[in-house]
Amino acid sequence: MDDADGARLRAARIEAGIGLDILARITGKSKSHLSRVERGIRPLTPGIVLAYHRALGWSLPIGVTTRAAGSVPADDDIDEAEMRRRTLLRGFVATTTGIGAGSPLADEIESVTGPVASPSMVSEFDAEELEQAALALTSRDLRGGGHALISEGQSLLTWATGLIEQTRSESLRKRLASAAGYLADRTGWTAFDLGLHDQATRMFGLGVRLAVEADDRNLTAQALCDMAGQAVFLGKPSEALACAELALADDSIVDQLKAALLGVTAEAYGQLGELNETLRYIDLANERAIDSEIPDDAPVWLPAFRGPQTLMASTGFAAYLSYQQNRHVLAASTALEHLAAASSTLGSSRGRSATLCRLRQASISCAAGESAEGISLAGQAVGDLQLVRSTRIRRELRILRESLPSGNQQATAASTRIDKLLTGQVVPIA
């Protein structure tokens, strides 16, 4: 409680015509003590808070507000009743929890959410707990992601660091490093999808380092594959090729990852406009994936996003990128075939990837002269979107907006919806 809060309490008491003697009888405190409380000299206790509440007849509708969600007016913008409510709540919180009413909110949050002490004994249970947390974060990211997941990933990495430093078992240390490395990779992908590219790059780098520390070659390849995917998005195909080549140099990684790396290599060549190399690596990726079963000792995270559907999405994207460069009919037909196969099998658990495939199908159909099909696909893809946070989806929406023909009612409706989504509006599902 500060001097201003005390002054408000005193002003409210005088306005109500209540003397200090009445409050003294209610609280059991002397009038001089209450006077010092009102002047900010003595601390405000929960008992005194409740005494003022009863004596002045103030209501404290905690958690109830008539304001719009997210509206937090400054103290000088609110009425006196609300000011009194805040004064009481601030004082109560300060005296019962130690969270100071006069401190900046960010400082108080930081003081509460500081690092959690690591257990004195780190066990396999701690490693399993970290692995499950990483898998849960992955599942939520695949359904759409969001900024909260980045904060969660960072907090879990801080926790994991303490576990790694605390353990004396080499095998357990490697298991923890592997789980933390995977967590860094997934947090990096979430950051990338939200357009936080510097943060994503650092997270991918941390993922590679932890994977190397853990001697986890599949995880190393996974992180390098994601780095390559980001490089393609940023228009750095040579960097993408370097990442993929480095990962493919290790022949011990599972076939599903080899296929994914060949797929992102095709994406890089598609961006370079080299149609023959794009198609060659698409074929190599498919050949590697055919009849390849996930081995028993494969990473537990592998099936989540390295399967036939995601490979089709990647190879379809590669052909799509190639078509953007050369407008070749073979690139268009290959892209449409692979993207259609992917979008029909990805399912709701991979909603973002399925949306990307449908948007790319619509764009390439319109650009290739299949306007009716493209408009229909655009209506379906755009109609399912309410709010767009993904930087990849935003890019595809802009491309589709330019590809849609004019003079068509359905195309105009889709364009209008795209414009609203690109300005950050929440649009009801069509």
Contacts of 329 (CB under 8 A, 6+ apart): 368
Q: Is 70 exposed, middle or buried (0-12, 13-18, 19+ CB in 10 A)?
A: exposed
* Region of residue 263 (phi > 0: left; psi between -120 and 50: alpha; otherwise: beta): alpha
Query: From CA 74, how far away is CA 67, in angstroms rounded?
Result: 13
What are φ and ψ of residue 28, in 5° steps? 80, 10
137-163 pLDDT, tens digit each: 888 887 777 888 998 999 899 888 888
50-93 pLDDT, tens digit each: 667 666 665 433 332 333 333 334 444 556 666 665 665 555 55
- From residue 217, alpha-carbon distances to 181, 189, 211, 381 in Å are 11, 19, 7, 37
- Please write down the HEC assignment for all residues of 147-165: HHHHHHHHHHHHHHHHHHH
Count H helices, E strands: the chain? 21, 0
Q: Are 331 and 316 in contact (CB under 8 A)?
A: no
Six-digit token string for 86: 């805040």
CA-based max dimension of the chain: 93
pLDDT at 193 over 90: yes
Q: Is 99 exposed, middle or buried (0-12, 13-18, 19+ CB in 10 A)?
A: middle
Neighbours of 399 (CB within 10 A): 18
- What pLDDT does 75 receive? 45
- From residue 417, alpha-carbon distances to 93, 235, 367, 411 in Å are 46, 28, 19, 10
Q: Which residue from 315, 398, 331 is spatially nearest to 364, judged by alpha carbons? A: 331
- What pLDDT does 87 receive? 63
Query: From CA 321, how far away is CA 342, in angstroms rounded?
Result: 16
pLDDT at 3 over 70: no
Name the pTM for this structure. 0.74
Q: Who wins on pLDDT, 289 or 64?
A: 289
> Per residue in 325-362, is it b (16+ CB within 10 Å) or e — as a string?
beebeebbebbbebbbbbbebbeeebebbbbbbbbbbb
Six-digit token string for 390: 């993904």
Lowest mean pLDDT among 68-77, 116-125, 276-285, 359-368: 68-77
Query: From CA 152, how far away is CA 241, in angstroms rounded?
Result: 31
- What pLDDT does 108 receive? 53
297-350 pLDDT, tens digit each: 788 888 777 888 889 999 999 999 999 999 999 999 999 999 999 988 876 556
